[in-house]
Amino acid sequence: MNDNLILGAKEKERSTVKPLTTFLLNDCYNKELLYDGPEIEKSLECLLCGQIAGNAMELTCNFHVKQENPLIIGENCLIRYLESNNNRCPKDNHINCDYTIAKLARTLINNLTIGCPGKSIIQLNQMANNANVSSICCGFKGKISAIKKHLEESCTFKLIDCEFKKYGCVDIVTRFNYKEHYKLEIDKHLELMKNYIVKLETKEGPLDEKKCANDQKGNCTFFNFKLSKSFIGSGDSVTSIDYAITNDYQLLCSGSEDNTVYIWNIDTKEKIGKLHGHSNIVSCVKFSPYHRFADRRTVICSASLDKTICFWDINDNKVITKLNGPKGVTSITFSPFSSGEYLCFGSCDKTVCLYDIKRNKTIVFNGHTDSVLCVDFSPLKNYTSAETIGGDSYKICSGSKDNTIYIWDIKSLKYVNIFKGHEYPILSVKYVSPELGLSNGANIILSGSIDQSVRLWDVRSAKQINVFDDHTNIVTCVEYLPIGNGQIICFGSLDNTVRFWDVRLNKQFDILKGNKGDAGLFCIKYLLLKKGNSTNQNTNDNKYVDYLCYGANHGNICVWSFDKK
């Protein structure tokens, strides 16, 4: 999995960050945090650092027997000094320094009233790395004897390991800023996860369809899944898939992490095209309905992080139109109205754009505060004139790295709703088709996120309807299945599964496990294909069959047939 693929943002250059200073329970205490008077502080100062001695020790060398006041020093200060100075005394530099626990000093120090030492340590780290010093307060005020319990159990500034430690992240964060850390470092975390998955999984050769079918036994309770077809391009991650049925062929196209668009004949499993032209990851691919209706050509539209969108005529595999943007393009979708004349795309420059293919004009929607990662149109309602973009009621939804979903009114060119609820970037959004059988279905949105959840939103009431959170890893893609009673939604994840939910019953009823070598699923697509050879005009062979297709991290594209048990 590539971090740029999912987030639509190039890897940022990182300045060298200095190691974190941490507060140890035996460290000395900052005098500025004390609430007691300076006369008390002076007698309890550490000989080395001048702060209040932590776990106070007393120097008892024979050389100091005439010393009027005890020579107090913090335990950690003393240990560090002796280790770096060959056990020489910090007072007179003689050898074989002797020391003992300063019981009286410890008792006095433990009864001093102090503020939380955690914040001062955090501020030191921020200043060391030229960051803004936090104004967040811990609020602790108590005896030094209570510091240990406070720091371990309730301190706002407690330093904790990053949740991605098991994947290789060695960063230390605090309770108050861990969410900000996860957002800022999400690119790095995703790359670490990719490397982790690659280590666990071994790339396999061509898929054994019988073996894959057997692997599903015991997993599926509602559908009979059977691996019908499989394709593989370069072995790099499959970022996006789409399909089209022409007069002659049933075609599948895929975008890849190797900067290439692949075209397949679904019936023969033959790779019939390989489109080179992008200089970075191909983030999204779609067959163009506009060119199919306007001039009866089969054209593929591909978006890339190289800041371009290309329209390819697959007859000669050449670019017929190329759009250039300010930053990487992460997602594209064609309008369900006006015969697909409008292309909507999201970009790393935080914008949603609506491109008029016929007139070569672009409208820009501004509002998001970070990269837009996914977009979708509201479903077709009735015929709309090409003179009026979207009529009176069409909308666009967009999911972003800023963890929000915006609903845009195409006619007014303004956002009408903002949905907040996801804790991490949103990787996939989809308007629910009216075919799903829900009342007000055309006004319901499905979203999947890095926070491992899928959510349903009602556009009209501006409320979240439901949360599905059974996945154990990032949810990369969402889809609805217009089959049966039309109440089924499904979502793909890096946990290598596709899960199926009945929306009305709010219940997961089935799960499709990817092949062991897939190492996570990036995209899914519902396919309605002709049975048998698509060019065969025999009525019995022209029946349509339901399939579910997914693209995987290790380059596999799998097409599964499914029917009820």
N- to C-terminal Cα separation, the chain:
34
Q: Which two tokens stand for residue 276?
A: 């080179």
Supply the pLDDT for residue 304: 96
Residue with the bigger pLDDT between 326 and 441: it is 326
Looking at per-residue pLDDT, the higher value among 317 and 36 belongs to: 317
For residues 427 and 346, give the distance between their C-alpha atoms in angstroms, rounded to a whole number: 12
Task: Name residue, tokens 């059988």.
Answer: 437
What's the confidence (pLDDT) of residue 343? 97
Three state DSSP letters for 426-495: EEEEEECCHHHCCCCHHHEEEEEECCCCEEEEECCCCEEEEEECCCCCCEEEEEEECCCCCCEEEEEECC
| DSSP H stretches of helix in 130-269 | 147-153, 178-184, 186-200, 209-215
Asked whether the beta carbons of 137 and 119 are under 8 A apart, the reply is yes
Pairwise CA distance, residues 304 & 34, whole Å: 57
> What pLDDT, in 10s, does the model give residues 352-382?
999 999 999 999 999 999 999 999 999 876 5
Q: Residue 550: pLDDT above 90?
A: yes
Q: What average pLDDT does range 283-301 have in this prediction? A: 95
Least confident window among 141-145, 242-246, 395-399: 141-145
* Model pTM above 0.75: no
Write the CB contacts of 431 (distance below 8 Å, at least 6 apart in sequence): 376, 377, 378, 379, 395, 397, 442, 444, 445, 446
Any idea where the domains of the chain sit in the sequence? Answer: 17-158
Q: Which range scores top for mean pLDDT: 5-19, 54-68, 240-254?
A: 240-254
Q: pLDDT band at residue 194, thresholds of 50, 70 and 90?
A: low
Phi, psi of 419 (to 5 degrees): -105, 130
Which range, 26-30, 321-325, 390-394, 538-542, has the best average confidence (pLDDT)?
A: 321-325
Average pLDDT of the residues of the chain = 80
- The whole-number pLDDT of residue 167 equals 73
Average pLDDT of the segment spanning 551-563? 89
Q: What is the pLDDT of residues 422-460, one digit of tens each?
A: 999 999 999 987 655 555 556 889 999 999 999 999 988
Q: How confident is the model at residue 325 (pLDDT cuts 50, 70, 90)?
A: confident
The pLDDT tens digits for 36-83 are 766 666 788 999 999 999 989 998 888 877 777 889 999 999 988 888
- For the domain 17-158, what is the CATH superfamily, name and number? Zinc/RING finger domain, C3HC4 (zinc finger) (3.30.40.10)
pLDDT above 80 for 517: no
Sign of the four-CA dihedral 148, 149, 155, 161: positive
Mean pLDDT of all residues in 196-222: 50
**Residue scoring higher pLDDT (389 or 410):** 410
How far apart CA 170 and CA 179 sit, in angstroms, is 16
Between 516 and 260, whose confidence is greater? 260
